[in-house]
Structure 1
Amino acid sequence: MCDLKFGKVERPILDDKFVLLRKELFEKLADEKFLYVLSTHDKGNLSKSYFYLIVDKLREAGLLMENAISFSAVLPFKASNEGIWFTDGLLYRKGKELFYINMESDKLTCSSCPIYSQCIYAIKTIAKDRDIPLIKENPMEEWKLIIDSLKKEFGEKVASLKILSFK
């Protein structure tokens, strides 16, 4: 089961970084308003104050910089006094397309999915972009393979993590 969303980026692209995002904020990205603000600089039917509140949250999270998209992949994590670990989700940008999946949500199931073909398109697009061979027959297993590959890639490439001030 999952929650799957798509978006088209109208903002300029500034960077291709991997971003780690606390699970609670990652889940807010599934809200159409957050995904809309992330995708475009047009306020649409949102109030100016609410639009800029969301923009500020996206900037603080490292997803926007100078009103431009500043990531290629976002991996959610949980933190507690026991440690930090990844959760099963991904926000991925390929060119001007955004793909969001939260595999811990129960909104959609493969057997009755109304966006099955878009799901397969997203899987193939990301797998091709990251050179991930697809070997599973089930979309949920393919998503898990993609997310695990990105976690592994992040783990291999990370040299340090900068944490915001504890004050």
Structure 2
Amino acid sequence: MCDYRIITTDRPVKDSGKAIIVSRETFNKLTSDTYLKVMASDDREKLGLSKSYYYYILDSMKKLGLIEDNALAFKLILPFVKGEKELKFDDGIIYLNGKQIISIDMSSSKYACPTCPVFAECVYGIKRIAMSMKIKTQSIDSEIDARNERLPSKLWYSLIRGIVAKVLPKLDSINVYY
């Protein structure tokens, strides 16, 4: 089960290649409708949000390093969960592919592959991210079989693990604010 979204942004995009790792709680906020809309658009009036709420969300994104000079300044966002003595990557990603923000949260119960209304878009997201990150994935030949076997869900898990495997060796520092 998952929650998949693809949104086109009208914000400028910095080619930063930056991976940002956030807590699961922060990731849940970032994948909410309101936060994704603010991430995608710099036109507060078009979003219909109050000025204070819009700038509150924008400021929180700037503090995370997602937005710099009004431009999106990340390539991907991964969630983690805190264990007693460790951090574990959780199953989700927000990925910037050109002017498209692709968001998948595998811990959501919104959609299930057999009845998913965004199946084609989901498969597109897998292919776009896999191609961009140069990660091989299984192809989907038959939509009916893929839905019944929950193949896109399996591919997302595999893709996220592949991305974590690429990002982790490049991890240099973690800033903690207290």
TM-score in terms of structure 1 length: 0.93
Shift of 1:81: 3.6
Shift of 1:150: 0.7
Matched residue, 1:162 = 174
The answer to which of 84-93 and 61-70 deviates more is 61-70
SS at match of 1:85: strand
Matched residue, 2:164 = 151
Matched residue, 2:39 = 38
Q: Point out the structure with the larger helix share.
A: 2
Matched residue, 2:65 = 62
Matched residue, 1:12 = 12
Shift of 1:165: 3.6
Shift of 1:80: 4.1
* Within-5 A mapping of 1:18-167: 18-43=19-44, 44=46, 45-135=48-138, 138-158=151-171, 160-166=172-178
Identity across matched positions, percent: 32
TM-score in terms of structure 2 length: 0.88
SS at match of 1:16: coil
Gaps in structure 1 of 5+ consecutive residues: none
Residues 73 and 91 in structure 1, CA contact (< 8 A), matched pair in contact too: yes
SS at match of 2:101: strand
Residues 4 and 119 in structure 1, CA contact (< 8 A), matched pair in contact too: yes
Residues 2 and 102 in structure 1, CA contact (< 8 A), matched pair in contact too: yes
Gaps in structure 2 of 5+ consecutive residues: 141-150
Q: Deviations over 1:30-87 (max 9, x none)?
A: 2211001001110121111110011011112221112111111111011244221110
